[in-house]
Every structure is written in structure tokens, then in C-alpha cells.
Amino acid sequence: MLLDSLVYKNGLKDVHPGEKLIFALITMCIGFIPNIYCDGLIILLMAAIIIIKGGIPPKIYLHLIFLPLAFLGMSILPIVINFGASAEQSLVHFPFFQTTIGVTYGGLKQAGFLSARSMALVSCLYFISLTTPILDLIALLKKLNVPGVLLDLMLLIYRQLFVVLDTAEKIYTAQNARLGYVNFKSSLNSMGKLLSYLITKSFSDSKRLYTALVSRGYDGELKVLDSNYRFSVKNLLIIAAIDTALFVIALKTGGSFK
């Protein structure tokens, strides 16, 4: 629940959600241009805005930004490790059964580009998720004629995620206090019990939530309050200047649309 509270307390919560969405989407589009320098700038820019302007603690942001690295590492492993690579092409090369395994310069270069692009896009998503309350985002999407059923699912899934995380944290703390993770065997046993309980509780909570909604007159659409935001010409000009500069840097330092 800490992250949800930070979203409602951050320094950019009063900025029009449309401005933040425009900035994030345009910057993400620029991030798709294959240019590692521009991707690095996007990562640093988003971190500076989130931490300095948004007021999100650096420790929390760094923890969040490092979370996707585990999935990213597993994704780029097949790119870095090449089967059948010759010794001349490989930086590291050794035989493996009837073939060879090597780490080539081309594979490392491609993995570096993909990693930088992925982290740049993730930082844009974090900008939206850490500075824009979910109700403001849903109200904005509703004005853009996004189907109501999708918005209801977004809101319910968002709520359920925090409920599950809060429950998992409490169960883990209780298990850890009883030495449930003192060794590998007990850790597997405790983690299995935790996951099985979370799955059954999630289904049970979803049924109770739907029953509660119906009992309160749910007619297929969740009503959310629409805050009275106004577009700022100054903010739009700043967004245009930043994204134009990023676009020019991306093209001038070797990026292309090929």
C-alpha cells in the first residue's frame, strides 16, 4: 500500500493526467528509435522527474527499476549465448557436446541495445504509474471512449493487486517469524503454502467483491469522480521542447527508422 500512498502524495499529482500521458507516450515512441544514447537519456530524465519533481524516494524508485532486470536478463540470455559460434567471432568460446557455445560481440551489442530500450520504456511506464492516481487515469481514459468494461477491470485488478501484496507481506512476516525460511527445504514448504493460500483467497475475495458491488446497485459500470484539471500551456511547451530535443539527439547520434 506504500506505493499507492506515494502516488497520491507525489509532487505531480495535480498536473493534468493528459499532459503526463502525452509526455510518456511520445517519449516511449522516441525510445523505439534504436539509439542507446537516447535510451540512456530517457532513463535518466524519467528518474530525475520522478525523484526530484515527483518526490518519490530514490531508494524506492531504484528498487522498482531493478525489478524488471531479472526478467530482462532471462530474455537476453539467448541473444548473448550463441550456439555454433566460431572462435574468431566469439569473445568467450568453448565446446559443448557436438557443437560450440560462444559469446559474440554482435550478441552483446544487440543485447545492450535491447536492454537499454526496454529500461527506457519501463521508466516511461513508471512515470505514469508513480505520478498519476488510478482514478484520474481511468477518468481520462473514459473521456477517450475506452470501453467501460476494460476500465472496470483495470480498477478492480489494481485494487486486488494491492490486497494480494498486502496479504502476502503479512503471511511472509508471520512465516519468517516462525523460522519458515530458515533453510531451503522449509523455504520451499512455506512458499508453497503462501502461494496456495493467496490463490484460494484471491478467488474468494473476488466473489465477495462482486457480491458487495451487486448489493450496492452495481449496474455494469463503476462510477469514479472526475477531478477538474486544466491543461497548462507552459507544461505542454516544456513537453514539446524535451521530446523534440530527445528526437533530434536520437537522429543525430546514429538512430534511424530502419
pLDDT values of the chain reduced to their tens digit, one per residue, 258 residues: 567 778 888 888 888 999 999 999 999 999 888 888 899 999 999 999 999 998 889 998 988 888 888 788 788 877 777 776 666 666 666 666 766 777 777 777 888 888 889 999 999 999 998 998 888 888 888 888 888 888 888 888 888 888 888 888 888 999 989 888 888 888 899 999 998 988 888 888 888 888 887 887 777 777 777 777 888 899 999 999 999 999 998 888 876 655
pLDDT score for 79: 77
Alpha helices in 96-224 (DSSP H): 105-131, 134-143, 148-177, 184-215
Q: How many other C-beta atoms lie within 10 A of the C-beta of residue 100?
A: 16
203, with CB counted inside 10 A (0-12, 13-18, 19+), is: exposed
Amino acid present at 190: S
The two most distant CA atoms of the chain are separated, in Å, by 71
The DSSP-derived string for 220-252 is: S------------HHHHHHHHHHHHHHHHHHHH
